Protein backbone atom coordinates (compact mmCIF):
# COMPACT_ATOMS: atom_id res chain seq x y z
CA UNK A 1 0.00 0.00 0.00
CA UNK A 2 2.69 2.22 0.64
CA UNK A 3 3.54 2.00 -2.91
CA UNK A 4 0.12 3.11 -3.95
CA UNK A 5 0.26 5.95 -1.50
CA UNK A 6 3.57 7.05 -2.88
CA UNK A 7 2.28 6.76 -6.36
CA UNK A 8 -0.74 8.90 -5.54
CA UNK A 9 1.39 11.54 -3.87
CA UNK A 10 3.78 11.52 -6.81
CA UNK A 11 0.94 11.82 -9.29
CA UNK A 12 -0.60 14.66 -7.37
CA UNK A 13 2.75 16.40 -7.07
CA UNK A 14 3.95 15.89 -10.67
CA UNK A 15 0.58 15.53 -12.26
CA UNK A 16 1.72 12.56 -14.37
CA UNK A 17 0.81 8.97 -13.89
CA UNK A 18 3.88 6.74 -13.79
CA UNK A 19 2.18 4.02 -15.76
CA UNK A 20 0.99 6.48 -18.32
CA UNK A 21 4.48 7.86 -18.66
CA UNK A 22 5.97 4.39 -18.96
CA UNK A 23 3.34 3.48 -21.53
CA UNK A 24 4.12 6.70 -23.46
CA UNK A 25 7.86 5.87 -23.51
CA UNK A 26 7.19 2.37 -24.71
CA UNK A 27 4.84 3.73 -27.39
CA UNK A 28 7.49 6.25 -28.43
CA UNK A 29 10.10 3.50 -28.64
CA UNK A 30 7.82 1.29 -30.73
CA UNK A 31 6.90 4.25 -32.95
CA UNK A 32 10.60 5.06 -33.43
CA UNK A 33 11.43 1.47 -34.37
CA UNK A 34 8.47 1.24 -36.75
CA UNK A 35 9.29 4.60 -38.34
CA UNK A 36 12.94 3.65 -38.59
CA UNK A 37 12.02 0.46 -40.39
CA UNK A 38 9.28 1.93 -42.57
CA UNK A 39 10.32 5.55 -43.11
CA UNK A 40 13.94 6.26 -42.21
CA UNK A 41 15.59 3.35 -44.09
CA UNK A 42 13.79 4.04 -47.40
CA UNK A 43 14.34 7.75 -46.92
CA UNK A 44 18.06 7.19 -46.22
CA UNK A 45 18.28 4.84 -49.23
CA UNK A 46 16.60 7.47 -51.42
CA UNK A 47 18.96 10.19 -50.15
CA UNK A 48 21.96 7.90 -50.70
CA UNK A 49 20.83 7.07 -54.25
CA UNK A 50 20.30 10.78 -54.97
CA UNK A 51 23.74 11.55 -53.58
CA UNK A 52 25.20 8.79 -55.78
CA UNK A 53 23.42 10.28 -58.82
CA UNK A 54 24.81 13.72 -57.99
CA UNK A 55 28.30 12.28 -57.50
CA UNK A 56 27.99 10.41 -60.81
CA UNK A 57 26.87 13.61 -62.52
CA UNK A 58 29.91 15.45 -61.13
CA UNK A 59 32.20 12.61 -62.27
CA UNK A 60 30.62 12.64 -65.74
CA UNK A 61 30.94 16.41 -65.91
CA UNK A 62 34.59 16.18 -64.84
CA UNK A 63 35.22 13.44 -67.43
CA UNK A 64 33.50 15.52 -70.11
CA UNK A 65 35.57 18.55 -69.12
CA UNK A 66 38.78 16.48 -69.25
CA UNK A 67 37.76 15.10 -72.64
CA UNK A 68 36.96 18.60 -73.89
CA UNK A 69 40.34 19.85 -72.64
CA UNK A 70 42.11 16.98 -74.42
CA UNK A 71 40.19 17.71 -77.64
CA UNK A 72 41.02 21.40 -77.30
CA UNK A 73 44.69 20.57 -76.80
CA UNK A 74 44.67 18.22 -79.81
CA UNK A 75 42.89 20.87 -81.89
CA UNK A 76 45.43 23.52 -80.88
CA UNK A 77 48.27 21.15 -81.77
CA UNK A 78 46.69 20.48 -85.16
CA UNK A 79 46.28 24.21 -85.76
CA UNK A 80 49.91 24.77 -84.79
CA UNK A 81 51.06 21.97 -87.11
CA UNK A 82 48.89 23.37 -89.91
CA UNK A 83 50.39 26.82 -89.39
CA UNK A 84 53.91 25.37 -89.41
CA UNK A 85 53.11 23.37 -92.55
CA UNK A 86 51.63 26.39 -94.31
CA UNK A 87 54.69 28.42 -93.33
CA UNK A 88 56.93 25.64 -94.66
CA UNK A 89 54.96 25.49 -97.92
CA UNK A 90 55.16 29.26 -98.24
CA UNK A 91 58.93 29.24 -97.63
CA UNK A 92 59.34 26.43 -100.15
CA UNK A 93 57.32 28.33 -102.75
CA UNK A 94 59.39 31.45 -102.07
CA UNK A 95 62.62 29.46 -102.50
CA UNK A 96 61.34 27.94 -105.75
CA UNK A 97 60.30 31.36 -107.01
CA UNK A 98 63.68 32.82 -106.08
CA UNK A 99 65.53 29.95 -107.79
CA UNK A 100 63.35 30.38 -110.88
CA UNK A 101 64.04 34.12 -110.84
CA UNK A 102 67.77 33.48 -110.59
CA UNK A 103 67.52 30.93 -113.41
CA UNK A 104 65.62 33.39 -115.61
CA UNK A 105 68.15 36.14 -114.85
CA UNK A 106 71.02 33.76 -115.60
CA UNK A 107 69.42 32.76 -118.92
CA UNK A 108 68.85 36.42 -119.77
CA UNK A 109 72.46 37.25 -118.89
CA UNK A 110 73.71 34.35 -121.01
CA UNK A 111 71.49 35.38 -123.91
CA UNK A 112 72.63 39.00 -123.58
CA UNK A 113 76.24 37.84 -123.37
CA UNK A 114 75.84 35.70 -126.50
CA UNK A 115 74.12 38.54 -128.31
CA UNK A 116 76.84 40.97 -127.24
CA UNK A 117 79.55 38.52 -128.31
CA UNK A 118 77.85 38.04 -131.69
CA UNK A 119 77.55 41.79 -132.07
CA UNK A 120 81.21 42.25 -131.18
CA UNK A 121 82.17 39.54 -133.67
CA UNK A 122 80.04 41.19 -136.35
CA UNK A 123 81.58 44.57 -135.53
CA UNK A 124 85.06 43.07 -135.72
CA UNK A 125 84.19 41.42 -139.02
CA UNK A 126 82.76 44.65 -140.43
CA UNK A 127 85.81 46.52 -139.18
CA UNK A 128 88.09 44.07 -140.99
CA UNK A 129 86.00 44.37 -144.13
CA UNK A 130 86.10 48.13 -143.93
CA UNK A 131 89.86 48.07 -143.34
CA UNK A 132 90.30 45.68 -146.24
CA UNK A 133 88.12 47.87 -148.45
CA UNK A 134 90.07 50.93 -147.37
CA UNK A 135 93.31 49.04 -148.00
CA UNK A 136 92.11 48.07 -151.45
CA UNK A 137 91.08 51.62 -152.27
CA UNK A 138 94.25 53.05 -150.80
CA UNK A 139 96.29 50.48 -152.70
CA UNK A 140 94.61 51.43 -155.92
CA UNK A 141 95.13 55.11 -155.21
CA UNK A 142 98.72 54.51 -154.09
CA UNK A 143 99.45 52.42 -157.18
CA UNK A 144 97.93 55.04 -159.41
CA UNK A 145 99.86 57.81 -157.72
CA UNK A 146 103.05 55.75 -157.66
CA UNK A 147 102.61 54.81 -161.30
CA UNK A 148 102.02 58.37 -162.20
CA UNK A 149 104.98 59.57 -160.18
CA UNK A 150 107.38 56.90 -161.21
CA UNK A 151 105.77 56.20 -164.54
CA UNK A 152 106.79 52.74 -164.43
CA UNK A 153 105.16 49.46 -163.55
CA UNK A 154 105.43 48.40 -160.00
CA UNK A 155 105.76 44.76 -159.17
CA UNK A 156 103.35 43.07 -156.81
CA UNK A 157 106.02 42.75 -154.15
CA UNK A 158 106.91 46.40 -154.30
CA UNK A 159 103.25 47.22 -154.42
CA UNK A 160 102.59 45.28 -151.23
CA UNK A 161 105.52 46.93 -149.44
CA UNK A 162 104.40 50.37 -150.48
CA UNK A 163 100.83 49.74 -149.34
CA UNK A 164 101.95 48.49 -145.96
CA UNK A 165 104.24 51.47 -145.55
CA UNK A 166 101.47 53.85 -146.58
CA UNK A 167 98.97 52.30 -144.14
CA UNK A 168 101.48 52.46 -141.32
CA UNK A 169 102.09 56.11 -142.07
CA UNK A 170 98.31 56.74 -142.20
CA UNK A 171 97.78 54.95 -138.89
CA UNK A 172 100.51 57.07 -137.27
CA UNK A 173 98.90 60.24 -138.49
CA UNK A 174 95.68 59.53 -136.67
* 42-79 pLDDT tens trace: 888 999 999 999 999 999 999 999 999 999 999 999 99
Q: How many CA atoms lie within 13 A of 150 on its CB side?
A: 13
First-to-last C-alpha distance (Å) of the chain: 177
Helix (H, G, I), strand (E, B) or coil at 107: helix
Element (H, E) at 171: helix 156-173
Least confident of 74-78, 101-105, 153-157, 164-168: 153-157
41-150 helix and 156-173 helix, angle to the nearest 10 degrees: 120
Q: Is the model's pTM score more than 0.85?
A: no
Judge residue 112's burial from the number of C-beta atoms within 10 Å of its C-beta, 0-12 exposed, 13-18 middle, 19 or more buried: exposed
**Nearest Cα residue to 165 out of 142, 149, 148, 144:** 142
Q: Is the dihedral of CA 130, 132, 133, 137 positive or negative?
A: positive
Least confident of 22-31, 53-62, 133-142: 133-142
Identify the pLDDT of residue 167. Answer: 74
Highest mean pLDDT among 2-11, 16-25, 81-90: 81-90
Q: What percent of the chain has pLDDT over 70?
A: 85
Mean pLDDT calculated for residue range 20-33? 91
Domain ranges, ordered by start, for the chain: 2-173
Amino acid sequence: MEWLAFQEKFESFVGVNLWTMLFAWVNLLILYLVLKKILFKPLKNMIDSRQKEVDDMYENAKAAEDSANELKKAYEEKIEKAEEESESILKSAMRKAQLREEEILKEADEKASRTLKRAEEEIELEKRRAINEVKDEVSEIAISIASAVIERDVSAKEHSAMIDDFIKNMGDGK
